[in-house]
Structure 1
Amino acid sequence: MADALPSWAIKGELILNCNCTVFCPCVVSLGKHPPTEGYCQAWVGVRIDEGHHDGEDLSGLNVGLLMDIPGNMGRGNWKAAAFIDDRASEAAYDGLVRIFSGAGRGTTGLFGIMVSEFLGAERQPVTYTTEGRTRHLTVGKKIKGAVTPIGGKDPDQEVVVKNTEYWMGADVTIAQADRGRVRSHGRVWDFEGRSAEICQIDWAGP
C-alpha cells in the first residue's frame, strides 16, 4: 500500500522523573489514579541501544521529553515536547519525531491520542550515561537529571514492580531523582528527591 506507515522499532532504556512525592501511582493504576499532586509534570530520557525507522538506523541515539499533564494520565489532554539527539541524521530526526509525537503509531501511538498539544521537537545535545546504578540525562541547558534505584532488603537487587500492563514496559524499577531540573517551554521545574523510574523498552510500530 502506498500510504502504509513506515515500520520502526526501538530497544533500550527509559528513565522518568515526575513531581509525585512517592512512587508514581500511574504505573500500577494505568493512569486511573491521580498523581500525588493532582497533576503530572515530568521529564523523560530514552537511550536507544538498537533501533530503526523506515530503514534508517537509530542505534546509539538519545531522546529527551517534557510532559505536562493536568490530571489523571488516562484522561489525556497532555502537553509534550521532544528533544532529539543532535547527532541524528535528517532521516533519523524525522523518524524519531514521528515516533515520539505518536504519528508512527505502534507502542507510542498513545501519544497521538493523549497529547492534545505537541509543543514541538528540536535538536539538542542529548547525553544519557550510567555511573554505577545512577542514570544521568542532560539535554543542552534544558534538562539536567539523574535517577538512582531505591534500596531494597537485598542490596544487590533493584526494587522492581513486575508484570504490569504499563505501556512503557512490564517491569519498572523504582527510583528516586538525585537531580531533576527543567528549564524549557516556559516551565521551570525542580523534582530532586521526587519519584523516578527506570524501564527497559522494546517498542515497535506501526
Structure 2
Amino acid sequence: MASDQMEAPARPAEQGQVPWAIKGELILNCNCTVFCPCVVSLGKHPPTEGYCQAWAGVRIDEGHFGDTDLSGLNVGLILEIPGLMARGNWKAAAYIDERASEAAYDGLIDIFSGKAKGTTGLFKVLVSEFLGAERAPVIFETEGKTRRLIVGRAIHGEVEPVAGADKDRDIVVTNSEYWMGPDITVATATKGRVRAFGRVWDFDGRSAEICQIDWHGPR
C-alpha cells in the first residue's frame, strides 16, 4: 500500500482553528518491562529501557472535525521516543481507517500531527519526523476485558488489564495529569507485534495502558 506523507492539504485560514473533538478509548503497548513510568512521572522519568517504542490504537465512539463526522472510525499509531518524552525528537506514523472519507482522513491527520492544536497539539512540538500515514483496515475489538488492535499486517496487538486483589476491579491510576486522560488502567500485552516502516517489534508481556479519552481542540 502506498504511503502518504502525513501532511494535510494546505488550509492556511483554517489550520489550527477548526473545532474538533474525539471521545472513545485508547490502548497502548510499549517496550517498558513494567508499567510505563511516564504515566506517573509525566515524562520526567525515562522509559525502563532508556527509550520508548510503542504502538497505539484509538477507537472513536463520538467525534467530529468541524462539520465532518469522525464517529465509528479507528486509528493506529507507531511511536518512537529516544529518551525523556519532553525532550522531543519523536518519530511517528499513523494508520487511518480505510472507511474514512477524504475530509475525515484529512481531519484525523491534522489531529494526530498536532496541527489541529488542542489535546494533541504537543505532537507538533515533540514529533520531529513523521514516517508516513496510510489508509488501512484498522480493527479495534473488545472482548470482555481484552482489547485487540489489528492493522493489516503492520500491527497485531492485544492488551488486557493486570489482575488485582479484587478480580472484578481493574488497577487504575486515577486523577493524574497525564496528557491522554486522568485515569489510566494498568495493563499488559498478550500480543504486541509491529512489522512496519522497517520496524520489527515484539512486546508480548510488556507494559500496556487503557484510557478513556475525551480530547478536543483547538483549545
For the aligned pair, the TM-score class normalised by the smaller chain equals: over 0.9
Offset at 1:119? 1.3
Unmatched tracts of structure 2, length 5 or more? 1-11
Write out aligned runs for 1:25-174 (5 A): 25-174=37-186
Residue 23 of structure 2 aligns with an amino acid whose one-letter code is: K
Normalised by the length of structure 1, the TM-score is 0.98
**Aligned-partner residue type, residue 111 of structure 1:** F
Question: How much has 1:120 moved relative to structure 2?
Answer: 1.7
Aligned to 2:13: 3
Identity of aligned residues (%): 72
Q: Deviations over 1:60-103 (max 9, x none)?
A: 00000000111111111100001000000000000000000111
* Distance in 2 (alpha carbons) for counterparts of 1:101 and 1:138: 21
Instruction: Quote how far apart the aligned CAs of 1:54 are.
Output: 1.3
Instruction: Give 5+ residue unaligned stretches, structure 1.
Output: none
Q: Provide the secondary structure at the position in 2 that maps to 1:96.
A: helix
Q: State the distance in 2 between where 1:109 and 1:141 align.
A: 29
Q: Alignment partner for residue 179 of structure 1, among 164, 167, 191?
A: 191
SS of residue in 2 equivalent to 1:28: helix
- Which residue type is aligned with residue 184 of structure 2? V
RMSD: 0.8
Which amino acid is the alignment partner of residue 143 of structure 1? I
3-state SS in 1 of match to 2:100 = coil
Correspondence for 1:17: 29
Tell me the alpha carbon deviations over residues 148-189 of structure 1, each in whole angstroms, 9 at most, x when there is no partner. Answer: 000001111000000000000000000000000000111000
Q: Specify the SS of the correspondent of 1:188.
A: strand
Matches of 1:35 and 1:16 in 2, distance apart?
14
Q: How far off is 1:118 after superposition? A: 1.2
| Secondary structure of 2:107's aligned partner | helix
Q: What is the SS of the residue equivalent to 1:167? A: coil
Task: Return the alpha-carbon distance in structure 2 between the equivalents of residues 126 and 139 of structure 1.
Answer: 5
Cα deviation digits, residues 102-156 of structure 1 (max 9, x gap): 1101000010010011112110000000011000000111000000000001111
